């Protein structure tokens, strides 16, 4: 979902910064319980949302290079405000000079490629399974659901990483075979 916002900012020639507030689910549930009863969010919704949020991964996604994760460690830093300001200023400097001129035909082609990307499809399926599982266990204690959610998302990420690695190895082997065939 956050890539959509990056693309929107890129297409309009403005900088993109994401600020991820890393708050533990237990803390969210505790704050929610202190609300007036009519203002409370059902705990299964908070649990479900926690499974969907992912911290930025600038090492994996170059478009996330201007990201800040705000957690207790970040806020305890003496210079947290200047770090945040620096990140925003750098994003502004790195903003594209003009909106990208991607034709509708190219956008359609790119969407078609993504739609047929096996890894993307696998990720969507795994996310749907996790979502269905979390809905199915909506009556379970919040701490159990939180742990289940954390483990399922960790397993999803590990499975996708292994799948990508095996896919890359298969593609490399195929390319090597093609080169050998050309040499013959």
pLDDT tens digits for range 18-74: 988 888 899 999 999 999 999 999 999 999 888 888 889 888 888 899 998 888 777
pLDDT tens digits for range 58-85: 888 888 999 988 887 777 777 888 888 8
| Residue, of 1 and 162, whose pLDDT is higher | 162
Q: Which pLDDT belongs to residue 101?
A: 55
Question: And the tokens for 153?
Answer: 């998302």
Predicted TM-score (pTM) of the model is 0.50
Beta bridge partners of 69: 20
Q: Which pLDDT belongs to residue 29?
A: 94
Asked whether the beta carbons of 134 and 42 are under 8 A apart, the reply is no
| Spatial CA neighbour of 127 closest among 138, 116, 119 | 119
């Amino acid at each position: 979902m956050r890539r959509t916002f990056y693309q929107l900012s890129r297409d309009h020639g403005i900088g993109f910064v994401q600020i991820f507030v890393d708050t533990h689910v237990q803390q969210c549930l505790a704050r929610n319980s202190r609300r007036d009863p009519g203002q409370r969010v059902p705990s299964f919704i908070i649990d479900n949302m926690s499974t969907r949020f992912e911290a930025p991964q600038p090492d994996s996604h170059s478009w996330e290079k201007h990201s800040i994760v705000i957690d207790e460690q970040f806020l305890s830093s003496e210079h947290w405000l200047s770090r945040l300001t620096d990140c925003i200023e750098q994003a502004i400097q790195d903003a594209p000079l003009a909106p990208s001129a991607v034709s509708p035909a190219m956008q359609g082609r790119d969407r078609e490629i993504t739609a047929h990307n096996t890894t993307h499809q696998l990720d969507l399926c795994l996310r749907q399974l996790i979502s269905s599982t979390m809905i199915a266990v909506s009556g379970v204690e919040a701490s159990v659901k939180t742990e289940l959610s954390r483990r399922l998302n960790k397993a999803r990420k590990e499975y996708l990483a292994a799948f990508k690695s095996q896919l890359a190895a298969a593609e490399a082997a195929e390319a090597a075979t093609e080169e050998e065939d050309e040499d013959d």
